[in-house]
């Protein structure tokens, strides 16, 4: 049998030890209860957090699909992530343990993190940031990225974190769309022993962004960078000023007021700024992390994503802090200086929960078992996976070699839009390699055909969610119509995820991949349209089509087909130049695997490029329905 094809009958049961430790031992009972009373379930979860004013209504659905969770309530996520811990013993507990790529270590107690967040919140205020203002954060994985996010949220500003692996074009678009006044960045970051030039990218992006008044720069690499007088300030200078006082009031927010905007690729060239609010997001993230990773005070929890993605927002920054947990963060690459870096960190810091992506597992698997086997990984008790479907081969390696057959793998399916885990096991749920198992407590998913009819078990269809959940994105920034059109109009009243999936006879869900023009490359979500528009901006390119093709480590890789403008000739040098052009504009993660120069592109009679046909041809598969094709 092909080890890479999921077998829906293969089941891994939790051990007695896992069951004994689990917070919820009877999954079915709680699922049944939450299903029967969705609002009651979420009200009870919300009661575990502190609110300045309680809600009048758990869920106001009078303006669907703009659901309002905890309507009438007042809160601030920072009150629950930081303020309330100051009143308990957790004040002295480690909130964040951070390790740099060079091996430097920094730790923050809840007290110390709160102090720095207050200080930076006062700095932001002094820079004129007010409630509702947007602050763009473009940083390496250093503690200050967390501090900047929390400080913005504390004063009611809206953070807009842009992943530090993106380049000028992507950053500029996101600064511009969000109309940020302030950008927080660093002189650079360390990755694979080299410096990532973040400040230079910010300079280029800000040149074209009139809204930006101030750039605050964290010193990380201490190499020479240009500082523009009157615009650029060093973080460490500002934090020393008397105005950076160690106390700062937390802004009182309405439950559904925005906490952050996070841009994600969609089907058009323009990324969508998804808005998440305080009350619902806080409750959803708190509850899912509590049940799924079953976090306890003794845990050292490591989510190895980047804070620049939703995974980092929900489950590096907010989730663990809401639970009063200790979160671990590592700056650099998993293979620097050697492929045992992660396993060394697990051993050295006693990591008990490790949450990462299939692409990272596949990448590390290539180096063989001897690297992890050199380390004591016995502190691990739970593992997690996110970002794309995990192939059974990688799942089994992770389970056997890293978890030593003791640690259940939480394969969590969710999205930037959902804010929290949606299809996920908890530690006691029997696992099937490659399946995220079943919807979270109170949730419901369906697999529909084009017309909205449920397909039979075992058949592929469109994945939809049929019940509201508290951490759902509230809207698309300044484009509510697009929010409705994109997610809620295909099947009225139901949320269309944009994924294809199957359900098996046991009710387990198997996500297959995206159904739209989004490519998952190493778990990163990239829009074909964004890449195409960068390609056609190159003087040699008249038209471009971008598709994803299977890749052993990355899951999918970017393949570009370009039609040249008159006067330009195909050559290997030009192909290379186009790859560099895309990587330079959008970031190294967006570097195409292959650029092919073509004389024609398959199009429909109305002129739309048929990427599906390109994909089939590249893989030597049947082209499907080509009745509308015109080349
Ligand atoms: C897309 C969302 C939210 C986590 C980071 C990605 C794919 C995510 C899984 C999983 C299969 C998965 C889907 C989804 N995806 N997790 N466990 N199994 N597919 O967030 O960048 O918004 O991407 O990632 O295709 O739609 P995102």
CA nearest ligand 1 atom 5, residue: 387
How sure is the predictor about 116, in pLDDT bands with cuts at 50, 70 and 90?
very high
**How far, in Å, CA of 609 to CA of 630, rounded?**
10
C-alpha of residue 114 to centroid of ligand 1, in Å? 31
Query: Which candidate, 388, 469, 376, places its Cα nearest to that of 436?
Result: 388
Pocket residue to mutate for ligand 1, from 260, 313, 386, 447, most atoms within 8 A of Cβ: 386
Residues 294-318: what's their mean pLDDT?
A: 97
Which residue is closest in CA terms to ligand 1's atom 19?
388
- What pLDDT, on the 0 to 100 scale, is given for residue 353? 98
Q: What is the pLDDT of residue 1?
A: 41
Kindly indicate the confidence band of residue 3, based on its pLDDT and cuts at 50, 70 and 90. Answer: low
From the CA of 420, how far away is ligand 1's center (Å)? 11
pLDDT of 527 strictly over 60? yes
**φ, ψ dihedrals at 45, nearest 5°:** -65, -45
Q: Which residues contact 406 (CB under 8 A, 6 or more apart)?
A: 15, 17, 18, 380, 381
User: Mean pLDDT lowest for which of 2-6, 102-106, 279-283, 353-357?
Assistant: 2-6
Which residue's CA is the nearest one to ligand 1's atom 10? Answer: 413
- Are 566 and 560 in contact by the 8 Å Cβ rule? The answer is no
Q: What pLDDT does 610 receive? A: 87
Q: What is the pTM of this model?
A: 0.95
Ligand 1 pocket test: which of 316, 511, 517, 554 has the largest number of ligand atoms within 8 Å of its C-beta? 511
The first and second tokens of residue 351, run together, are 């990591």
Question: What tokens were used for 113?
Answer: 């993190």
Cα→Cα distances 462→361, 450, 490, 504, Å: 27, 8, 10, 14
Total residue count of the chain as it appears in this document: 631
Cα of 473 from ligand 1 centre, angstroms: 15
Distance, CA 71 to ligand 1 centroid (Å)?
Answer: 29
5 vs 142: which has the higher pLDDT = 142
Residue 4: the pLDDT is 64
Kind and range of the H or E run holding 153: helix 143-154
Kindly write down the DSSP assignment for every residue of 71-135, as one continuous string.
Answer: ET-EE-HHHHHTGGGGGSGGGGSEEEEEE-TTS-EEEEEHHHHHHHHHHHHHHHHHTT--TT-EE
Phi and psi for 477 in degrees, rounded to 5? -50, 125
Q: What residues have CB less than 8 Å from 32, skipping those under 6 apart?
A: none
Q: Is the pLDDT of residue 426 over 70?
A: yes
Smallest CA separation from ligand 1 atom 6, residue: 387
Question: What secondary structure letter does DSSP report for 13?
Answer: P
First-to-last CA distance in the chain?
A: 40
177-194 per-position pLDDT tens digit: 999 999 999 999 999 999
Percent of the chain with pLDDT over 70: 99
How far is residue 272's CA from residue 290's CA, in Å, rounded to a whole number?
A: 29
Residue ranges lining ligand 1, Cβ < 6 Å: 264, 309-311, 385-389, 411-416, 436, 497-499, 511, 514, 520, 525
Residue 373 has pLDDT above 80, yes or no: yes
Candidates 351, 349, 356; CA nearest to 411 is 356
Q: Where are the beta strands (DSSP E) in 481-586?
A: 495-503, 509-514, 518-521, 524-527, 541-551, 555-564
User: Which atom of ligand 1 is least distant from the CA of 416?
Assistant: 22
Pocket perturbation via mutation, ligand 1, pick of 163, 271, 315, 415 by most ligand atoms within 8 A of CB: 415
For residue range 16-32, list pLDDT tens digits in order.
Answer: 999 999 999 999 999 99
The whole-number pLDDT of residue 126 equals 98
- Rounded CA gap, 155 and 368, in Å? 48
**Ligand 1: nearest atom to the Cα of 511:** 11
pLDDT single digits (tens) 442-461 = 999 999 999 999 999 999 99
> What tens digit of pLDDT does each residue of 322-366 get?
999 999 999 999 999 999 999 999 999 999 999 999 999 999 999
Name the band, by pLDDT with cuts 50, 70 and 90, for residue 631. low
Exposed / middle / buried, residue 445 (Cβ in 10 Å: 0-12, 13-18, 19+)? buried
- Cα(547) to ligand 1 centroid in Å equals 18
Quick check: helix, strand or coil at residue 327?
strand
For the CA of 498, the closest atom of ligand 1 is 26
User: What's the gap in Å between 385 CA and the centre of ligand 1?
Assistant: 10
Which tens digits make up the pLDDT trace of 220-267? 999 999 999 999 999 999 999 999 999 999 999 999 999 999 999 876
**Interatomic CA distance for residues 328 and 307, integer angstroms:** 12
HSE-CB at 67 with a 13 A cutoff on CA atoms is 22
CA of 520 to the centre of ligand 1 (A): 8
**Nearest atom within ligand 1 for CA of residue 310:** 3
Helix (H) or strand (E) holding 194: strand 194-196
Distance (Å) from CA 388 to ligand 1 centroid = 5
- For the CA of 385, the nearest atom of ligand 1: 17
The predicted model gives 547-556 an average pLDDT of 94
Cα(465) to centroid of ligand 1, in Å? Answer: 14
- C-alpha of residue 413 to centroid of ligand 1, in Å: 6
143-154 helix and 110-126 helix, angle to the nearest 10 degrees: 60
Condensed to tens digits (0 to 9), the pLDDT of residues 569-627 reads 999 999 999 999 999 999 999 999 999 999 999 988 888 888 889 999 999 988 877 77
Nearest Cα residue to atom 18 of ligand 1: 389
Question: Which ligand 1 atom minimizes the distance to the CA of 514?
Answer: 25
Which SS3 state, helix, strand or coil, does residue 419 take?
A: coil
Quick check: 551 pLDDT over 60?
Answer: yes
Across residues 383-411, what is the average pLDDT?
97
- Nearest protein Cα to ligand 1, atom 2: 415
Q: Is the pLDDT of residue 498 over 90?
A: yes
- Among candidate residues 429, 416, 469, 446, the one with its CA nearest the CA of residue 288: 469
In this prediction, residue 604 carries a pLDDT of 86
């Amino acid at each position: 049998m092909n080890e890479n094809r999921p077998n829906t009958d293969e089941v891994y049961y939790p051990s007695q030890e896992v069951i004994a430790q689990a917070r919820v031992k009877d999954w079915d009972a709680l699922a049944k209860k939450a299903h029967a009373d969705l609002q009651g379930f979420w009200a009870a979860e919300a009661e575990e957090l502190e609110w300045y004013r309680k809600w009048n209504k758990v869920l106001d659905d009078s303006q669907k699909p703009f659901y309002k969770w905890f309507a009438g309530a007042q809160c601030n996520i920072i009150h629950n992530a930081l303020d309330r811990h100051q009143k308990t013993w957790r004040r002295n507990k480690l909130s964040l343990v951070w390790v740099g790529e060079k091996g430097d270590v920094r730790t923050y107690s809840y007290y110390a993190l709160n102090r720095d967040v207050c200080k930076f919140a006062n700095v932001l205020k002094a820079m004129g940031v007010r409630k509702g203002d947007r602050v763009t954060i473009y940083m390496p994985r250093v503690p200050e990225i967390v501090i900047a996010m929390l400080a913005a949220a504390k004063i009611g500003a809206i953070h807009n974190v842009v992943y530090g692996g993106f380049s000028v074009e992507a950053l500029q678009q996101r600064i511009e769309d969000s109309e940020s006044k302030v950008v927080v960045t660093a002189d650079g970051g360390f990755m694979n022993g080299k410096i990532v030039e973040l400040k230079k990218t910010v300079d280029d992006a800000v040149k074209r962004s009139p809204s930006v008044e101030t750039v605050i720069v964290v010193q990380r690499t201490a190499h020479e960078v240009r500082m523009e007088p009157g615009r650029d300030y060093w973080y460490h200078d500002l934090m020393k000023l008397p105005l950076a006082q160690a106390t700062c009031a937390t802004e009182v927010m309405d439950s559904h007021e925005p906490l952050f905007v996070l841009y994600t690729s969609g089907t058009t060239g323009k990324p969508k700024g998804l808005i998440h609010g305080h009350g619902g997001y806080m409750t959803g993230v708190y509850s899912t992390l509590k049940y799924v990773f079953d976090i306890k005070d003794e845990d050292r929890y490591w989510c190895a994503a980047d804070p620049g993605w939703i995974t980092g927002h929900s489950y590096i920054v907010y989730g663990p802090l809401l639970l009063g947990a200790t979160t671990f963060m590592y700056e650099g690459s998993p293979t620097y200086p050697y492929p045992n870096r992660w396993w060394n960190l697990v051993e050295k810091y006693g990591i008990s929960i490790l949450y990462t992506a299939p692409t990272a597992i596949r990448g590390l698997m290539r180096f063989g078992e001897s690297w992890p086997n050199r380390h004591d990984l016995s502190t691990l008790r739970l593992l997690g996976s996110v970002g794309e479907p995990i192939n059974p081969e990688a799942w089994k390696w992770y389970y056997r070699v890293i978890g030593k057959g003791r640690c259940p793998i939480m394969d969590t399916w969710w999205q930037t839009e959902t804010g929290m885990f949606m299809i996920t096991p908890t530690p006691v749920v029997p696992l099937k390699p490659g399946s995220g198992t079943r919807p979270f407590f109170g949730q419901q998913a369906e697999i529909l055909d084009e017309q909205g009819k449920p397909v039979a078990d075992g058949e592929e269809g469109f994945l939809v969610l049929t019940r509201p959940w508290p951490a759902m994105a509230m809207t698309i920034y300044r484009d509510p119509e697009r929010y409705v059109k994109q997610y809620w109009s295909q099947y009225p009243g139901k949320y269309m995820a944009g994924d294809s999936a199957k359900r098996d006879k046991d009710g387990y869900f198997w996500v297959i991949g995206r159904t739209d023009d989004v490519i998952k490359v190493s778990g990163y979500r990239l829009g074909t349209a964004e890449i195409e528009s960068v390609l056609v901006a190159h003087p040699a390119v008249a038209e471009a089509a971008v598709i994803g093709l299977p890749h052993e480590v990355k899951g999918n890789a970017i393949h570009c087909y370009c039609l040249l403008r008159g006067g330009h000739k195909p050559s290997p040098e030009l192909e290379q130049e186009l790859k560099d052009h895309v990587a330079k504009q959008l970031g190294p993660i967006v570097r195409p695997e292959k650029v092919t120069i073509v004389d024609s592109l398959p199009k429909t009679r109305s002129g739309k490029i048929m990427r599906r046909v390109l994909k089939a041809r590249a893989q030597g598969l049947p082209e499907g329905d080509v009745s509308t094709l015109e080349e």
